[in-house]
Amino acid sequence: MNARRGHLRVFLGMAAGVGKTFRMLLDGHSEQEAGRDVVIGLLETHRRVDTAKLAEGLPILPRRRVEYRGTMLEEMDLPGIILRAPELCLIDELAHTNAPGVEHHKRYEDVEDVLASGIDVLSTVNVQHLESLNDQVSELSGIRVRETIPDEVLGRADEIVLVDLTPEELLDRLRAGKVYPAERIDAALNNFFRIENLQALREVALRQVAEEVGHKRLVTTDAVRSRDETMSADAPQAVGERLLALVEPYPGSQRLVRRAWRSAQRLGADLDLLWIKAPSGLDDDQERSLKSLHQLASVLGTRLLVEESDDVPAAVAEVARRQGTTYILMGRSRPARGLARLRVPLPQRLMELLPGVDVRIVADRSARAKKDEP
């Protein structure tokens, strides 16, 4: 057996029909022309004529037939691929679930065996098949995908190639019958292939690839750092931005949370909410506001952290360091009275305590609207 692990390149797309398989076949041809031994281990053409035509010229290993409850099913021939031992094998649909009775339950496990045999693999997957994105994508599209792959599978890929197409182009392809046969086009247009679905899925796919690239770059940077540099990096390093919004249980905080959440969405960042609770009780209005903040945080998919302290700047700084915060958002402080006016304002204190962390004071837009009124 070859000791070298094969090289895995995954073509990732937002939806069926963007051209992942097509692109995989093009790369297969290029490798073959470069003199490598290339075979197709498994190809799903979905009756697309262009795809089938492009596969011509590349040897296709026959599928094996598996009997399951009286029905003959066709699956990829894993032992056949390993026995044939090509330099490069094209294996479509990484998230596929195999019929019972073959070596593995999932195709990505077959691919692991192929890679372990020293064979390079080109494969394809759609973004909604990623386990961690499944809930998000199903909420976006209303369609839950049952065939998923753990994110680590994509994380272990040596290369991820995003096969991108604008939603408008994909819809044109769908209407032209290049994705599904004519009888399925209307149903597809009315369900999964709605422009808002595709826009959201495209964003998820783009972000996923950006995160993978960022993660790989970080791992590479870590690998070339000296031991001293590694040891001195004691602060948690954020991969991207991480936002922390300072809230209090009063209605105006909801606005701050909404603004912070929108900013986090734009940056593709995580958001934490923090309330520094003074060691005293809450009145009924505050209890109600706190409950609604918890609800808002839960609906938005973020967390409300509650810390009890008298020293607000120190407590915020401690949480920000612990969470790896890069960006703090806060509302305008209430006007100070009496001797409190002599204190250094909270934003300045935070900037002193947290060098390198941005502090943003969120404006009250309605105040501006009032001012603009004649």
Partner 1 sequence: MSTAVLIVVGVVCLAVGLFGGYWLPPHGRRPGKDRPKPVKRILLPFTGSSISKRAFDAAVRLATAENATIVPAFLARVPRYLPIESAVPAQCSDGMVLLEAIEQKAEAQGLTVDARVGRGRSYRDALRRLLADEQFDRVIVSATDSPRIGLSGEDLEWLLERVPAEVLILRPAPDDTREISAAASVNGHF
The yes or no reply on residue 243 touching partner 1 (CB under 8 A) is no
Q: Which of residues 292-321 bind partner 1 (CB under 8 A)?
A: 292, 295-296, 298-302
Q: Which is nearer to partner 1, 156 or 255 (CB)?
A: 255
Residue 102 CA to its chain's centroid (Å): 31
Q: Which stretch binds partner 1 (CB under 8 A): 87-95, 185-193, 231-239, 361-369?
A: 361-369
CA distance 187 to 190: 5
Q: Which stretch binds partner 1 (CB under 8 A): 6-14, 28-36, 124-132, 365-373?
A: 365-373
Q: Which is nearer to partner 1, 228 or 373 (CB)?
A: 373
CB of 136 to partner 1, least distance (A): 7
Kind and range of the H or E element at 43? none
Kind and range of the H or E element at 12? strand 8-13
Of the residues 132, 221, 230, 265, which one makes contact with partner 1 according to CB under 8 A: 265
Q: Which is nearer to partner 1, 51 or 197 (CB)?
A: 197
Of the residues 7, 259, 321, 360, which one makes contact with partner 1 according to CB under 8 A: 259
CA distance 140 to 199: 10
What is the DSSP secondary-structure string of 309-323? -S-HHHHHHHHHHHH
Q: Which is nearer to partner 1, 314 or 336 (CB)?
A: 336
What is the DSSP secondary-structure string of 46-90? TT-HHHHHHHTTS-BPPPEEEEETTEEEEE--HHHHHHH--SEEE
x/- letters, 183..222, toward partner 1 (CB under 8 A): -----------------x----------------------
Kind and range of the H or E element at 128? none
Of the residues 4, 144, 215, 332, which one makes contact with partner 1 according to CB under 8 A: 144
Question: What Å distances lie between residue 164 and 200, 223, 335, 344, CA to CA?
Answer: 13, 31, 51, 51
CA distance 66 to 70: 10
Q: Is 33 exposed, middle or buried (0-12, 13-18, 19+ CB in 10 A)?
A: exposed
Q: Which stretch binds partner 1 (CB under 8 A): 59-67, 83-91, 102-110, 259-267?
A: 259-267
Q: Which is nearer to partner 1, 123 or 253 (CB)?
A: 253
**Could you tell me which residues are beta bridge partners of residue 159?**
9
Positions touching partner 1 (CB under 8 A) are 135-136, 138-140, 142, 144, 200, 251, 254-255, 258-259, 261-262, 265, 288-289, 291-292, 295-296, 298-302, 335, 337-339, 341, 363, 365-370, 372-373
